[in-house]
Structure 1
């Protein structure tokens, strides 16, 4: 039995679908909060509910009593923890939501994994943890001690919390640093979704950082394949770990951290260009300065992931954006 938290979320739904398709039994939980359109979350959930191998629990990971009861009743063998309060900019306005979901919620997950001695915990981290780092591409060997948003700080804290449980209780634990995930069923607060909606409505799009921001966009199908491969290979201690020159991505505990990034960092204006081509619309653009908490550039070194599970994302941005547009037009066309 695999427990998937955040199963009505963008990545959670896709991963749960893939697990069910290969014959796994999945218990999914989600609090269906109103951070963005709940109807979209419900629509994602409807893609999972008909499957005989799937069971849904409406539950918040920050609910300690509820999570304790769930772990005792379900007794998962593996946990894929994707539930979180997402969004860099929103963390400036509502930090308490991040404390509850990303810190208290994750503490409940870790304690549940401890009590059930799960075979593997895989959890979502973020490229945001690299914060003020300027050396590109980002490597798991880099220190990540300078977050520039509270969201990033909670994700870094989660990695440290997870290491402590792996060390103390021997729980195989892997954290995945996702790099700007996009694709069908994506989040409405992400740039691709916002741009598509505005352009189809004939509205001007806001282009932050004067369009000079760079992101390592990662297509959802690549993310799912990477997640499942990692889930199938529990973390182990690093036999080559040197405490005199510590590698933050491994350790003497059964703990690993991996980047999952698209492998082709793309200028924001080129990303918009791919969307213009897919839609057949030239966007009206409002050029704006970078927003507080935003990183200027991201680029993932995925060599550690490739060495561990033999996989690196490779879907071209143009192809991924076109697939998103096809989904968007179909989903919002309505009956």
Structure 2
């Protein structure tokens, strides 16, 4: 099977593309390779996938939010399924550059839905986010919960993606699965995420910023567990049977949480990074950031029930693996 993967130079996209190729699928990866963070890391990820893909990976640099450019890039290319994990990521950056989120996450998602419709794709798996739960106080967050009150533009765009997908499933019968990812970390991770920021600062002897006076919890999910969930979804399109799916749709559209089903206090993660680095952190306790939430915690009952998903990596194992990769990648 040949699969189109968007965001293939990104953290999750590159990991998914690599695993698909290793198991024998062919992948066409696309990515705009923008400068939201260092382009060198994105190009290194692509090179890493190419090195392990056994000739089953092809890559094109294209902005999927640009319909003309996307259409031209895909002309003559065949693929059956789509994994759309490309997006403008980051909650805090959405306060600085809101238009980037509308272009990438709204227009980009619409463009991929249109590609799926025109190609008659048998399934599109797409990235949503745990951010859609906003300030929900009920824990853990379940896909049945209401998500009508986002606290960041990033979250609002991801919820809008879910709603557009429901419409396309209804109008055109395109099988779609949305995945609400919870705080992904691991080798080849993103420089704007906590694990990277804290590791970098500790190794440089610089202070780390911890918001909400340290009262922050996250459902940290190791990249290998995320990829396992994505592939399980790719292989199991929602059935066209009129029965309610995870998330409540009776169309061919399912929504799943992919998390570790554990909410870890950020100070515990810092302790593990300190241990792996062999150094203590200088911590700056700061107020809550606009658009942020104090706690995330994934209810994964739906994806466990439907697909047998079971995360296996505890932060006590995953954080040291990330730090080891970080030190090797940077030579520190």
Other-structure match for 1:22: 23
Cα distance in structure 1, aligned partners of 2:31 and 2:74: 15
List aligned pairs for 1:202-213, cutoff 5 A: 202-213=205-216
**Aligned equivalents of 1:238, 1:209: Cα separation in 2:** 46
Alpha-carbon distance between aligned partners in 2 of 1:282 and 1:331, rounded to the nearest angstrom: 21
Q: Shift in Å at residue 240 of structure 1?
A: 4.3
**Can you give the 5+ residue segments of structure 1 that lack an aligned partner in the other structure?**
242-246
Distance 1:21 1:66 in 2: 29
Distance 1:42 1:130, change over 3 A: same
1:33 aligns with 2:31: no
1:115 & 1:250 partners in 2: Cα distance?
Answer: 26
RMSD in angstroms over aligned alpha carbons? 1.3
* Cα distance in 2 for residues equivalent to 1:313 and 1:175: 18
Q: Deviations over 1:178-201 (max 9, x none)?
A: 000000000000111011111001
| SS in structure 2 at match of 1:49 | helix
TM-score of the two chains, using structure 2 as the length reference? 0.96
Cα deviation, residue 93, structure 1: 0.5
Corresponding residue to 1:312 among 288, 310, 313: 310
User: How far apart are 1:38 and its partner, in Å?
Assistant: 0.5
Shift of 1:305: 0.3
Change (3 A) 1:237 1:142: farther
1:188 equivalent to 2:191? Answer: yes
Matches within 5 A, 1:112-151: 112-151=115-154
TM-score (norm. length: structure 1): 0.96
Secondary structure (helix, strand or coil) at the match of 1:3 reads: strand
**How much does 1:271 deviate?**
1.1
Q: Tell me how far apart the structure 2 counterparts of residues 238 and 178 of structure 1 sit (CA, whole Å).
A: 26
Corresponding residue for 1:265?
263
Would the alpha carbon gap of residues 54 and 240 (structure 1) be closer, same or farther in structure 2, given more than 3 Å must change? closer
User: Which of the residues 66, 80, 85 maps onto 2:83?
Assistant: 80
Asked if 1:172 is matched to 2:170, the reply is no
Match of 1:67 in 2: 70
1:255 aligns with 2:256: no
Provide the residue aligned with 1:9 in structure 2.
Answer: 10
* Unaligned 5+ runs, structure 2: none
Q: Is the 8 A contact 1:260 1:312 kept in 2?
A: no
C-alpha displacement of 1:71: 4.1
Q: Deviations over 1:238-277 (max 9, x none)?
A: 6543xxxxx8713221000000011111011111111111
The 1-side partners of 2:90 and 2:240 are apart by 32
Is 1:45 paired with 2:43? no
Give the equivalent residue in structure 2 for 1:323.
321
Provide the residue aligned with 1:220 in structure 2.
Answer: 223
- Corresponding residue to 2:237 among 231, 234, 238: 234
Q: Give yes or no for contact 1:120–1:231 (8 Å, CA) kept in 2.
A: yes
Instruction: Report the CA distance shift for 1:329/1:300 in structure 2 as closer, same or farther (over 3 A).
Output: same
Aligned counterparts of 1:118 and 1:147: Cα–Cα separation in 2 = 30
Number of residue equivalences: 329
Rounded Cα–Cα distance in structure 1 between residues aligned with 2:49 and 2:271: 34
Correspondent of 2:104 among 101, 106, 109:
101
8 A contact 1:68–1:108 mirrored in 2: no
